[in-house]
């Protein structure tokens, strides 16, 4: 019996319950290589040793790894054996050969048969069932020899530099960028790498690849150097910062002239890390399979080409196209309209009308997935600047959270501006109100249904900036009514919601984050954590486009979202997923307090992110005594004679009027520090708790700022007595932590529990 192969969350082998290159989390998964389009957030992964090293560099987070060297046999179950073969696509890329009851199956993943400058050379085994990647599966894709392409790339670099311009080579940060680097070997050219490329190049060096000398990109160094960068839009801020640059895309798609024009690079060279049409045919001949399943790119065309040559071949997934699957799925999408020529309507994508339509559709959509798709498709039609503005406005805010700016426009001013723009009075409003239950809908329905001039995202951005600078209601009224005059009722609703910061129709930030990740092929975790660190969707959008997400630091003097303990039961069942030893700290009966200190400036925030510095000046004063700059987490308690006092004592302090000069004198306080988020310029959130804590333990603390002691226990037996002791000392109970976890307040799996 040959293997059963299904197209489902990547590729699925139902007989052994394994997935190949699954995108959604799955339990038994083989990952062929470290490109993001082949990877999801899986709890455990089977892959080559090289791929595991690269994935660890790209995707933080804990998971189990089953790694093997090339051609080293292993078992995935007693009846199924496996071997990995190098695929020649990028460093570490591998093909998987499985065998059950003497029947072999080979899955290629992305592969390249011919020579490749930076991947282990492809080795071809024989098999019965072949699943082959066919990105370039039509005859027009015949790549010239690599030596010729290399010559052309070098010529482009030299000519550009002679012309006083900076050559920028575009290639994906893992694989193509290192090929580009290798092409420059021996040329004597000075090479600068985009930080993302630098990071992946260093990761490749760690697994044994060598490259010509390079350094990290700096604007001031760019003259007379070659820059290697991930593909960026023409208008990317990072790119436009390099004066007099010329870009060249390195991609197999360079053989399609229209593709690189639409991508916006000045030149394109056909440097590919995939097999071309003739290589695909040769590969199949050498593998000598009984049946071939084709996948990716020209899968249907290549299956036909094989059948024309007498080989049994099917496009993967085509076998069940008459089944249920096709009826459930939405019709296949045509290629997204990336160039201006393909736009079908005359509504400009950066208009408020398009924004409103996208937002309405996303609000109406029932599933999270569909919302993400709508947002990502909307982003696909916008330039980078507008993506950044739209990402922010979709969240229902006129300004980023981190900026702590707000418009301070009253409902009354906004309402009057709408009436004024509509040339309407209260009588007219009352008339429409009889037929419209919602007062805002009634008001907005008075606006001109077909205004001649529209408004754009950029118009709104400028409007909000101006409004913020002029808190005078008369001026606000005139600016606002001017804007409403150019909007129809639906668009007016968008403006009204942003002006009043109404969150009712806003899109959740998690949807916007995923929309960005999907549109720009960035890892969702990186987008999510960047937004957690900076609370600035505008900045996150720019960094997603520029592939600089990992470089966004923690926002100083802005409260970080806090991880909260879940409630633990006394049966300790929750501890089953914890790594040993478990960490036990006192649950202090007090106020959770986040402290930010840089030089002489100190701010304290409570659990809700409210600033409470002025209420605890003595804590702020003690915080200044610690020499490091830091952001730390702790609990504020009322304290007397080395004993904690009940929370009610602290509440008295919180209730006193702000202008009270003797605020520090009624009850004494103490801040127990237990976590460190940032220290002297380094963001520590991605480190496990024990590493963050090690850093915190180096602080020389004082009487008012102390470090909450930790007890490490190996078994749960001791917990009941520890709990009793802690409560006897006047604490609320215990906090139990997994010390191997990074800081993740958004995680669904808590790594802290409270015991009371």
Interface contacts to Zn ion, rule CB under 5 A: 35, 110
Burial annotation 191-213 (CB, 10 A radius, 16+ → b, else e): bbbbbbbbbbbebbeebebebee
CB of residue 35 to Zn ion, shortest distance in Å = 4
CB of residue 89 to Zn ion, shortest distance in Å = 6
CB of residue 76 to Zn ion, shortest distance in Å = 23
CB of residue 39 to Zn ion, shortest distance in Å = 10
Report the SS3 class of residue 531. helix
Long-range contacts: 418-422, Cβ < 8 Å, 24+?
418/443, 418/444, 418/446, 418/447, 418/481, 418/484, 418/492, 418/496, 419/443, 419/446, 420/477, 420/481, 420/484, 421/447, 421/480, 421/481, 421/482, 421/483, 421/484, 421/485, 422/446, 422/447, 422/448, 422/484
Question: How far is residue 308 CA from its own chain's centroid?
Answer: 44
Rg (CA), the chain: 30
Give the residue with the Cβ less far from Zn ion, 21 or 377.
21
Give the residue with the Cβ less far from Zn ion, 39 or 677.
39
CB of residue 527 to Zn ion, shortest distance in Å = 20
Report the SS3 class of residue 24. coil
**Which residues, at least 6 apart from 387, have a Cβ–Cβ distance to it below 8 Å?**
379, 516, 519, 541, 545
Give the residue with the Cβ less far from Zn ion, 173 or 414.
173
Give the residue with the Cβ less far from Zn ion, 7 or 38.
38
CB of residue 572 to Zn ion, shortest distance in Å = 44
CB of residue 456 to Zn ion, shortest distance in Å = 37
Give the residue with the Cβ less far from Zn ion, 35 or 350.
35
d(CA 78, CA 92): 26
d(CA 61, CA 63): 7
Tell me the CA distances in angstroms from 31 to 14, 95, 176, 390, one per residue in order: 17, 9, 19, 34
CB of residue 200 to Zn ion, shortest distance in Å = 13
Tokens of 17: 């319950």
Rounded to the nearest 10°, the torsion over CA 253, 254, 259, 261 is: 160
H helix or E strand, kind and range, residue 339: none
Give the residue with the Cβ less far from Zn ion, 35 or 533.
35
Tell me the CA distances in angstroms from 727 to 121, 435, 730, 756, one per residue in order: 64, 62, 5, 8
Determine if the peptide bond prior to 581 is cis (ω within 30°): yes
Q: How many Cα atoms sit within 13 Å of 88 on the Cβ side?
A: 18
d(CA 571, CA 559): 35
Tokens of 321: 């196209």
CB of residue 91 to Zn ion, shortest distance in Å = 11
Give the residue with the Cβ less far from Zn ion, 110 or 675.
110
Q: How many Cα atoms sit within 13 Å of 591 on the Cβ side?
A: 29
CB of residue 135 to Zn ion, shortest distance in Å = 9
Give the residue with the Cβ less far from Zn ion, 109 or 489.
109
CB of residue 315 to Zn ion, shortest distance in Å = 20
Q: How do strand 6-7 and strand 582-587 relate by DSSP bridges?
A: unpaired
Long-range contacts: 220-224, Cβ < 8 Å, 24+?
221/192, 222/166, 222/192, 223/166, 224/161, 224/190
Query: Residue 664 — φ and ψ, nearest 5°?
Result: -80, 0
d(CA 83, CA 99): 9
Give the residue with the Cβ less far from Zn ion, 110 or 649.
110
Of 141, 143, 140, nearest to 114 by C-alpha is 143
CB of residue 20 to Zn ion, shortest distance in Å = 14
Which residues share a beta bridge with 325? none
CB of residue 547 to Zn ion, shortest distance in Å = 16
CB of residue 38 to Zn ion, shortest distance in Å = 6
Give the residue with the Cβ less far from Zn ion, 40 or 568.
40
Give the residue with the Cβ less far from Zn ion, 110 or 738.
110
Longest Cα–Cα distance of the chain, Å, equals 93
Give the residue with the Cβ less far from Zn ion, 89 or 350.
89
d(CA 106, CA 127): 6
d(CA 31, CA 47): 5
Give the residue with the Cβ less far from Zn ion, 35 or 100.
35
Give the residue with the Cβ less far from Zn ion, 252 or 750.
252
């Amino acid at each position: 019996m040959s293997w059963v192969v299904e197209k489902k969350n990547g590729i699925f082998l139902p007989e052994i319950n394994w997935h190949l290159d699954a995108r959604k989390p799955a339990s038994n998964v083989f990952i062929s290589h470290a490109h993001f389009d082949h990877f999801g957030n899986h709890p455990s992964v089977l892959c080559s040793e090289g791929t595991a090293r690269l994935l660890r560099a790209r995707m933080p987070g804990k998971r189990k790894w089953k790694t093997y060297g090339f051609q080293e046999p292993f078992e995935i179950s007693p009846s199924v054996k496996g071997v990995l073969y190098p695929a020649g696509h990028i460093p570490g890329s591998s093909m998987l050969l499985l065998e059950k009851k003497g029947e072999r199956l080979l899955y290629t993943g992305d592969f390249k048969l011919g020579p490749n400058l930076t991947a282990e050379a492809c080795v071809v085994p024989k098999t019965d069932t072949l699943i082959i990647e066919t990105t370039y599966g039509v005859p027009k894709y015949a790549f010239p020899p690599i030596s010729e392409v290399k010559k052309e790339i070098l010529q482009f670099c030299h000519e550009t530099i002679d012309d006083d311009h900076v050559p920028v080579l575009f290639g994906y940060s893992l694989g193509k960028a290192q090929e580009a680097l290798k092409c420059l070997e021996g040329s004597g050219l000075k090479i600068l790498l985009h930080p993302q490329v630098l990071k992946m190049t260093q990761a490749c060096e760690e697994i044994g690849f060598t490259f010509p000398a390079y350094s990290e990109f700096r604007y001031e160094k760019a003259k007379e150097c070659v820059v290697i960068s991930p593909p960026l839009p023409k208008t990317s801020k990072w790119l436009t910062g390099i004066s007099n640059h010329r870009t060249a895309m390195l991609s197999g798609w360079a053989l399609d002239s229209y593709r690189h024009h639409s991508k916006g690079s000045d030149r394109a060279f056909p440097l590919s890390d995939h097999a071309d049409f003739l290589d695909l045919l040769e590969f199949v001949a050498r593998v000598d399979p009984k049946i071939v399943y084709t996948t990716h790119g020209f899968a249907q065309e290549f299956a036909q080409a094989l059948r024309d040559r007498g080989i049994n071949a099917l496009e993967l997934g085509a076998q069940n196209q008459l089944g249920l699957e096709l009826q459930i799925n939405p019709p296949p999408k045509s290629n997204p309209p990336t160039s201006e020529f393909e736009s079908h309507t005359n509504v400009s994508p950066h208009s408020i009308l398009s924004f409103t339509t996208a937002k309405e559709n996303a609000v109406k959509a029932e599933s999270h997935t569909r919302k993400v798709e709508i947002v990502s498709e909307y982003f696909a039609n916008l330039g980078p600047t507008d993506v950044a503005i739209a990402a922010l406005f979709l969240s229902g805010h006129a300004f980023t959270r981190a900026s702590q700016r707000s418009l301070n426009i009253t409902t009354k001013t906004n309402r009057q501006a709408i009436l004024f723009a509509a040339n309407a009075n209260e009588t007219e409003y009352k008339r429409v109100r009889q037929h419209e239950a919602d007062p805002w809908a009634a008001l907005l329905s008075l606006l001109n249904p077909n205004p001649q001039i529209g408004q754009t995202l950029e118009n709104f951005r400028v409007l909000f900036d101006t409004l913020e600078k002029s808190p005078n209601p008369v001026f606000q009224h005139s600016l606002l009514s001017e804007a409403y005059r150019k909007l129809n009722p639906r668009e007016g609703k968008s403006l009204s919601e942003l002006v009043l910061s109404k969150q009712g129709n806003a899109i959740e930030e998690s949807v916007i984050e995923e929309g960005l990740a999907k549109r720009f092929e960035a890892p969702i975790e990186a987008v999510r954590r960047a937004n957690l660190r900076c609370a600035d969707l505008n900045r996150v959008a720019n960094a997603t486009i520029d592939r600089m997400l990992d470089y966004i630091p923690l926002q100083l003097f802005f409260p970080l979202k806090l991880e909260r303990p879940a409630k633990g039961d006394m049966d300790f069942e929750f501890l089953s997923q914890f790594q040993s030893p478990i960490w036990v700290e006192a649950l202090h009966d007090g106020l959770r307090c986040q402290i930010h200190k840089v030089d002489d400036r100190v701010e304290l925030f409570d659990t809700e992110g409210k600033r409470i510095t002025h209420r605890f000046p003595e804590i702020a004063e003690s915080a200044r005594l610690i020499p490091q700059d830091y952001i730390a987490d702790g609990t504020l308690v009322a304290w007397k004679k080395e004993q904690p006092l009940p929370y009610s004592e602290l509440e008295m302090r919180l209730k006193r009027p702000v202008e009270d000069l003797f605020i520090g004198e009624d009850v004494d306080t103490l801040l127990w520090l237990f976590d460190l988020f940032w220290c002297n310029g380094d963001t520590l959130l991605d480190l496990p708790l024990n590493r963050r804590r090690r850093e915190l333990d180096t602080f020389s603390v004082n009487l008012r700022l102390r470090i909450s002691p930790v007890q490490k226990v190996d078994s749960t037996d001791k917990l009941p007595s520890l709990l009793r002791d802690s409560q006897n000392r006047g604490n609320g109970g215990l906090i139990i932590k997994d010390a191997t976890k990074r800081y993740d307040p958004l995680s669904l799996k808590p790594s802290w529990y409270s015991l009371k």
